[in-house]
Amino acid sequence: MIANYHTHTWRCRHADGTEREYVERAIEGGLKILGFSDHSPYPFPDGYDSGMRMRLDQVEGYVDTVLALKKEYDKDIEIHLGLETEYFPRFWDQLIDFLSDYPFEYFVLGQHSLGNEIEKILYSGHGTTDGSYLKQYVDQCLAGIDTGKYLYLAHPDLFLFNGDEAVFDREYRRLCREVKKRNIPLEINFLGLMEERWYPNEKFWKIAGEEGNTAVFGCDAHTPKAVWNPETEQKALQLAAKYGLKVQETVPMPKTF
């Protein structure tokens, strides 16, 4: 593994360590590219404060810190400035307007909620047997990708569906096919592997292999140690090999963003 584009910071309120510690761990592990993509703020109304993302007033400090490290370590590792965001249509334009003042290079799409966070229809990991929710998850992911802002789809199998196997196959196969048409990689998520979560879901990755999707490895690092975890990398390689997935080692930054 030479690149990781999925790295968080303390600002999201559920990660530990300094940005410098993440960079030095990546260098120790032999990574050539490290992308910071902390949980994006959103301009929610009425003073709503999310407990899982940085605040709007923390963006400048985030940007300044990452860019300073990029300059300091430029001979040791390539550092990129990004965000992990959900696609929340109601607030999307406001978010892009706010972030356009900063030199972000990329977004990764991590669709943690259906609808949006303050009018939450369903948390993606809650679990449901209702196929209409899985369909909405797929629709919302594809709509987000169609904004043209996303580098790849993080933990695409995050949505926990426990219903009809035919519905699981139909909707997740639709996601895989449509994402492939758009030339967007799917992330094999190391955090899920490391913590033995419900994702990566082998049924999903079997479908992705059948559809010929390209995978990318993402550490989803919330601690410096997670940036380089050889045991988890081996598990990811085994999963990719099992289902015949092509793993893309690096993902080019968009020419315009």
pLDDT (0 to 100) of residue 161: 97
- The string of pLDDT tens digits covering residues 157-169 is 999 999 999 999 9
Tell me the average pLDDT across 138-164. Answer: 98
pLDDT (0 to 100) of residue 256: 64
Class of domain 3-247: alpha beta
Q: Is residue 206's pLDDT more than 70?
A: yes
Report the C-alpha gap between 6 and 140 in whole angstroms.
21
Confidence at 257, pLDDT banded by 50, 70, 90 = low
Task: List the one residue out of 66, 80, 103 whose CA is nearest residue 256.
Answer: 103
Report the C-alpha gap between 197 and 212 in whole angstroms.
25
pLDDT over 90 percentage in the chain: 93
